[in-house]
Structure 1
Amino acid sequence: MPSQIYLGFIRLPLLLRTFIIAISSIIIFGIIVHFIEPDSFPTIFDGIWWAIITASTVGYGDFFPSSIFGRLAGILLILSSAGFLSSFFVALATTAATRQNDYLEGKAIFRGKNHYIIVGWNERSKEVVQSLLIKQKTVSITLIDASLTKNPLPNHNIHFVKGVANQDSTLLQANIENATKVIITADTNLGEMQADMNSILTLLAVKGLNPNVETIIEILTNDQIANAKRAGADEIIQTNILTSFVIHQSINSQDMVTSFLDLLYQLSEEKITFKEADIDELNKDYTSLGMKYLEEGMTLLGVKRGGATILNPPKPFAIEKKDQLILIT
């Protein structure tokens, strides 16, 4: 039995072991000095108080031993407990510094819930993070990246995890099981096909650990769109299509490109929402419904019906059940 207690004590963390030894010594010497000099230390608490003050080398002087045996107890207390107490505070400071370094270097586990996970640190993910921090001040964000050496935004509500996102250990460190949304950006340091395969592999790992989490994935090549859908992507962002459109339009008309980009900037400052059609809006004409929302200060851009997005639908166009209205509020 004593050997089992000893082995269990040895397995405790160093910080906890040091604290237990220091506190036990202080209590024991406090009790001893009470029985040695009951006149100088009327209660056990007075003895423990004196032991704490003596071991911490503060020395208030409100209680002190006057006999030889009492002073010998004080000497033994200083030689034993003071060292353990100092070691405890040193270990405590070291543990705090190590924990802080773990957070900065991406080694700490994220223990929050309902957070966003962003995979990859680049200009696109940087803009997404900054936008989320401005518009949703209470949101928690976990960033996964293998190339960074430390948290790029240590003064913000960003938890950094250093690692490869398609590995289970990395995703579990980011607490994927309790995440609300995962945004997977393409690694532009790789070729387009390799970047897409890497993103899809990450998507498969994410869905394997949390099938219900909402996922947004950036795909660079058209050939991999079907694979991303098969892997369970909820939203697919084709950044190359937008880039190709802007370049193509700039060849024909610079004014059109400028207006298009201005529109995108303005939309980024507003809020585009998807609203399911109300019961009283069913079977109503799209044009009359658009006028109604204009009077309320909103603009009806189009309708999302199933997997199709219909902008400026042809007349006549009636709203059906489960249609989602695309509005600028």
Structure 2
Amino acid sequence: MQFFKWLRVRVIKLSNWVLMAMTFTLVFFSSLIMVIIEPETFTSLFESLWWVMTTVTTVGYGDISPTSVGGRIYAMFLYIIGIGLIGVVIGKVVDSFGAFRRRKEEGLLAYKGNGHIVIIGWSRKAKFAIEEILQTENFREIVIIDQLKKAPFLHEHVHYVKGDPAEQDVLMQANLQEAAAVLLFADGSIQDPLLTDGKTLLIVTTIERISPEIHSTVEILNEEHIKNFRHVDVDEFILSNETISRLAVRSAISNGISKIFSQLMSHGIGDNLYEIPSRKEWRTYKDAFEDLLQEGATLISDGDKMDINRRLNETLYPDSRLFVICDKETFDKIKRKS
């Protein structure tokens, strides 16, 4: 008993590659030796391999079995050694899957994909952002960076990287260089807006140094701090406190306007805001406006230029970023035609 206990402990401590090599060697050797010992029963190498596999995996169909003394003696050896070895291998495989899942949930695995969106800083705003992304583009992969013990959002398209986003290694682990965009939320655990925006600036500086071409959207608490971000190439700023305050004022002055903003900002039921590509046949904004109107969509802006009604006769360029208001079905039809 002590020998088998010692042997089991030794086998468990072996590396996975050594165990796999030992298993394949045992299976191949056993298949070959049974053909030699008992050729009348095991007429081919495949017949022998079939018996060995059903034996070591304890399936035991009984459709073929050794009948000679030599064959049965070797079968007893295979029962003791082979079944134990296969059991250890199966256990190792199961453990490796469990370890992989734990490492993924704990944010210890590097993300290798591309075209993903990196979200830095977990909060309720980050949760809403992820839900909106998944609802808008259900194929889009998302990588969250934070210092939580486990992944805060479990989804097949959402990945987690644990670490300080101001550190280059952590951003590299999220494969920032291959990402399509990065969305940075302010740290809600810091009470002082000055310190919060200071941390944001540090992270943004690291992001732009690693991937200067990436599209970055950054949340800032104090509008006066934007001038401190001028030396970094941030694409868009979100002033969350100012936006909420102004929306509240607009809603108080014009009853119901907040519902319009909410609907346009979230791809829920009804008409929403979508970006569409320009078409070759559109020479002016008027061409695009009239065609889209016939298709059930309203053209409202080219990028941040919302005065389309005063630009109808101006030239529309191929790289224009056109935004329309329509429902999801109309948007899908427009995409197919573009």
Residue of structure 2 in register with 1:224 after alignment = 225
Q: Percent identity, aligned pairs only?
A: 23
Q: Closer, same or farther in 2 for the Cα pair 1:44/1:184, shift >3 Å?
A: same
Residue matched to 2:205: 204
Counterpart selection for 1:280 from 255, 280, 283: 283
Shift of 1:96: 0.9
Written as runs of structure 1 = structure 2, the 5 A alignment for 1:141-160 is 141-147=142-148, 149-160=149-160
How far has the Cα of 1:313 moved from its partner?
9.3
Shift of 1:299: 4.5
Distance 1:302 1:116, change over 3 A: closer
Quick check: 1:277–1:321 contact (8 Å CA) kept in 2? no
Structure 1 gap ranges (5+):
1-12
Residues 321 and 135 (structure 1), Cα distance of their counterparts in 2 relative to 1, 3 Å cut: closer
Distance 1:84-1:296 versus aligned 2 partners, 3 A rule: closer
The residue that corresponds to 1:262 in the other structure is 259
For the residue of structure 2 that corresponds to 1:189, the secondary structure is: coil
Q: Partners in 2 of 1:226 and 1:185 — Cα distance?
A: 18
CA distance in 1, matches of 2:189, 2:234: 22
Q: Which residue of 2 aligns with 1:271?
A: 273
Tell me how far apart the structure 1 counterparts of residues 97 and 63 of structure 2 sit (CA, whole Å): 34
Using structure 2 for the length normalisation, give the TM-score. 0.77
Q: State the Cα RMSD in Å.
A: 3.2
**8 Å contact 1:26–1:77 — kept in the other structure?**
no
Q: Show the 5 A alignment for 1:37-52.
A: 37-52=38-53
Alignment gaps of 5+ in structure 2 = 1-13, 327-338
Which residue does 1:172 correspond to in 2?
A: 172
SS at match of 2:204: helix
Give the residue type in structure 1 aligned to 2:76.
Answer: I
Match of 2:66 in 1: 65
- Quick check: 2:300–2:308 contact (8 Å CA) kept in 1? no
Shift of the 134–317 alpha-carbon distance from structure 1 to 2, 3 Å rule, reads closer
Q: Hey, what does 2:4 align to over in structure 1?
A: none
Q: Is the 8 Å Cα contact of residues 184 and 217 (structure 1) preserved in structure 2? A: yes
Deviation sequence 1:153-210 (CA, Å, 0-9, x none): 3245211222221222222222212211110111111121222122222222222222
How do 1:94-243 residues align onto structure 2 when only pairs under 5 Å count? Answer: 94-147=95-148, 149-190=149-190, 191-243=192-244
Q: Is the 8 A contact 2:284 2:312 kept in 1?
A: no
Post-superposition CA distance 1:266-321 (Å, at most 9, x none): 32251154877987327x8xxx99789767655455665xxxx5655998997477
1:15 and 1:116 mapped to 2: Cα distance? 35
Kindly provide the amino acid, as one letter, of the partner of residue 167 in structure 1.
E
